[in-house]
Amino acid sequence: MTVIKSLEYEQTRQRLMADPIVIAMARSLRGYALFELAHDSGTPRFEFAMAANREYERRGGDMTTPRHIGAVPEALLRLISL
């Protein structure tokens, strides 16, 4: 399956990877097995994606502009995979 993502989406994900809130969230996920958070394809599991977005907002993150539902969990997955 091919997914087309806009340049704006990738820029948002890159910005989030440098966001101190996302970095702190990624540190707290280091003990989890990747299969618990993502599908074999590497895309975030729905439950993880929704929880990550809620936690990001709870910690003060701004999801309003632009709102990319998958950007926070994808940034987290990239950070914990480094």
Instruction: Please return the burial class of 66, using the count of CB atoms within 10 Å of its CB with bins 0-12, 13-18 and 19+.
Output: exposed
* Eight-class DSSP state of 66: T
Q: How far apart are CA 51 and CA 5, in angstroms?
A: 22
> Which token pair is 49?
């994606």
Give me the residue spans of the domains in the chain: 7-81
Question: How crowded is residue 16: how many other Cβ atoms within 10 Å of its Cβ?
Answer: 24
**pLDDT-derived band of residue 75, with 50, 70 and 90 as boundaries?**
very high
Q: Is the pTM of this model over 0.85?
A: yes
**pLDDT-derived band of residue 7, with 50, 70 and 90 as boundaries?**
confident
Question: Phi first, then psi: what are they for 68, rounded to 5°?
Answer: -115, 105
